[in-house]
Structure formats: structure tokens, C-alpha cells
Amino acid sequence: MSLKGAAELLVRSASDVVIVSALRTPICRSYKGRLKDAYPEELLASVLAATRAAVPGLDPAAVEDVAVGVVLSELGGSKAARMALNHAGFPNTTTLHTVNRACASSLQAVAAVAAQIRTGVISAGMAAGMESMTRNYGSKAVPQDVWPALRGESADKNVRDCVMPMGLTSENVAKRYNVSRADQDAFAAESHRRAAAARASGAFDAEISPVQTRFQEVDKQGTKIGEEQNITVTQDDGIRESVSVEALAKLKPAFAADGASTAGNSSQVSDGAAATLLMRRSTATALGLSSHVMGRYVAGVTVGCAPDEMGVGPALAVPKLLRHVGLEVADVHRWEVNEAFASQALHCVRALGLQGAWEDGRVNPDGGAIALGHPLGATGARMVATLMHGLKRAGQGDVGVATLCIGTGMGHAALFVAE
């Protein structure tokens, strides 16, 4: 660690941007899971209300702005998210905007709120994310009405590749960077094993806020079975405890006949929400909330890459982030690398020199999106919750990084320090 990096990370300041709460709903399978009948804004309202309950000394009016990551919702989710904010008990004086940086939307929301705090525009804010892929996936994942000069007629391959299906970008990464099918399946099986162990041990309990909602069981044809139930969802339901490499190896390629990416070694289509409460340290002190401080947000960066291999984004974003804060890979104690696909996650682990950290359980120690699921707009904030609670629980170091690839060719990485 450089002297500059040590000084910035180890010395606490009244101007630090601190995290006072980091919560998420359970992440559940779209179409089949326990949150399939919930609305995205319903999930958002639930986790916002849970944040208030987790910090009972907080006056909701002290939260000046809320940024909500959302990818698929109608009208960018702005109206529904504002309604959810008021429903959760926040006053009209608390403003709201939505953020769409694809898979990194809610981590970008964290960066946006932190920037407002750091520049003195606000003293406290919330960064959240919501997504119901049950309700809003399908055609909404790829634009249907695009200027033809861009979609099919552009002479620039990068222009056309911005609407390349994500699964094909995964296949490109696997082929270009020699990530075998066997390695992808082994990575996926380990993600499920770690997530199952974390769930069984109660490791997720502190970060999950239960959701009260409705559930209607249906058969394969969509016909209702029995009556609608009122349920409380307390756990992620996409984790497969008994999955094996052998079982994964039997799955057919999902995106290309000769491909290696399957439904089993790709992230799950999921529903969920998450929220992170941030404020200036001096504000937390003045409000009597110092005991709630989990850590601080240090920095976040975004980089660009070729759209047809968007999954390499973290391998480019992390070096830029570490240069910015004056650290090296070895200085980071815990990594959350989004598992959009096993191909790209494994390539990024290798490219960053994290194979040893992966084997030691310092990269995605509680599993990742292959096991937990990937509700697009919410995943970044979900990773913050998992990272901050994980650092506190493990007690083996303070520095953590969360990083994601981004559709259309980008990567985002952010650094946090636990306290």
C-alpha cells in the first residue's frame, strides 16, 4: 500500500461519506420465485421502509435525495419509485431520481449520492435499486424501435454490437480469453456451494429485509392453482444446494449451438431491491447515528470497452480504481465480482490476478449472481450490502471492492472501507 493510499484509507475525517445502512430484499427467481407477483416499486418501498426501521433515530426528512437504479421499468421507474418513496414514509421534501447504467445502475446510484455529499450539495441521501424481471424482462431488455441507421445499417461494428444479446458477448469472452466450458461449470457450481453455505449459516440474515407480498401458484401453462396467498419472503430462492459440475455439464448451450454459456453457468433472471443509506460523517455524528456507521465509500470509476465483450469491464475498471486510490490488488481484503456469466467473471478473476484470492474465499465468498440472481437495477446495491456485512462479519480486513460489467461495453468498480 502506498503512503497516499494508507493516508486516505486509514485516517477518518468528518467529511467522509459513510454508510449507515445497507439492506436488500431476498433475491428470487423470476416467473417461478416467491417474489414473482410483487411489483418492483413494491420491493423498493419494502426495503426503504426497512431502512427506516433499521435506523430508528433517523428523521426521514434528513434524507435529502434518493437515487434509484432501475433498468427495465416503465418510464425509467421514476414515477413509481417516487410513489414508493412516499409510501415508505419519506416526505415530499426528499427528492428522487432514477439511474440507468444497466447492470451497474444502483452502484452508480451510490456514486451519484456520494458525489452530492462530497461536494456539499446534500448531507444525507439514499442509493437504491429495484427490478422485477418477471414483469419487465423480455423485449424490454433490448430496444425494439431503434433508428435503422444504427441497428442494422451502421458501418461501425461497435454501433451494431450495442444491441448484441448478452449471451453472445459471453461466448465472445470465453473464446477470446480461453475460458473453457468445464471451468465455467466448475465456477458456477462453486458459486452455488458458497451461497448455500452462507444461507445455511445465517450469513445473509443481517443484510436481508423480509418482504410481505402475495404469491399465486400456477402450473406450467400459467393456470392458477389454489388461492392467492399472503406470504413473507425471508430468503433467496435461486440457490441450488445440491448442484454439481456433472449436472451442469449436461445442460445445452443457451445462446449459440457451439457455445459454452448455459442457463446453469449464467446469472439468473431475478426480482429484488436494495438500499444503501449514506451521509457525511459529521452529519451522522450530529444526528447521533455514529454507532450505525458500517464503513465508508471511498471512490468509484467507470471505464469503456468493446460492446461485443462487455464482460471484460471489471478487468479494466479495477486497475483504474486502484490507481486512483493508490492501492494494489493485494491491499483489498474482499472482492464482490458480479457473475453476469461464469465466462466473464472467471476471465476477470484471472486478468486481475485474483485466482489465489478466489481459492482462499476472498472473491465472492458468499457466492454471486449465478447462485443468488441478478435483478439488473438492484444488483449493485445488493453487492454493497453483501460486501459491507461480509467485511464486518469476517473481521479479516477492512478494504473491499465491488465491480460489475455493463451491457453496451463498460465496467464499474467501487472501493469501500469497513469500520
- Strand (E) or helix (H) holding 66: strand 65-69
d(CA 194, CA 180): 21
Q: What is the 8-class DSSP label of residue 113?
A: H
- Strand bridging mode 95-99 / 65-69: parallel
Is 405 among the residues known to form the active site? yes
Looking up cell 458477448 gives: 169
168 by DSSP, 3-state: which?
Answer: helix
Q: What dihedral angle (degrees, nearest 10) is formed by the CA atoms of 191, 354, 183, 340? A: 50
- Looking at residue 68, what DSSP letter applies? E
Question: Residues 6 or more apart from 221 whose CB is under 8 A from it?
Answer: none
Cβ-count burial of 245 within 10 angstroms (0-12 exposed, 13-18 middle, 19+ buried)? middle
28, 103, 162, 348: which one is catalytic?
103
Rounded to whole angstroms, what are the CA distances from 315 to 57, 60, 305, 311, 362? 41, 39, 10, 9, 17
Please give the backbone phi and psi of residue 117, each rounded to the nearest 5 degrees, phi first.
-65, -45
Q: Which of 28, 162, 348, 405 is catalytic?
A: 405
Is 348 a catalytic site residue? no
Listed residue (335, 349, 380) closest to 173, CA to CA: 349
Burial class (CB in 10 A: 0-12, 13-18, 19+), 403: buried
Q: How far apart are CA 397 and CA 44, in angstroms?
A: 31
Torsion sign over Cα 202, 206, 208, 209: positive
Q: Is 17 helix (H, G, I), strand (E, B) or coil?
A: strand
Exposure b/e, 333-358, CB count within 10 A at least 16 = b: bbbbbbbbbbbbbbbbbbebebeebb
| DSSP SS3 for 137 | coil
**Beta carbons within 10 angstroms of residue 389's beta carbon:** 22
Distance separating alpha carbons of residues 19 and 35, to the nearest angstrom:
27
Which residues form the catalytic set?
Answer: 103, 405
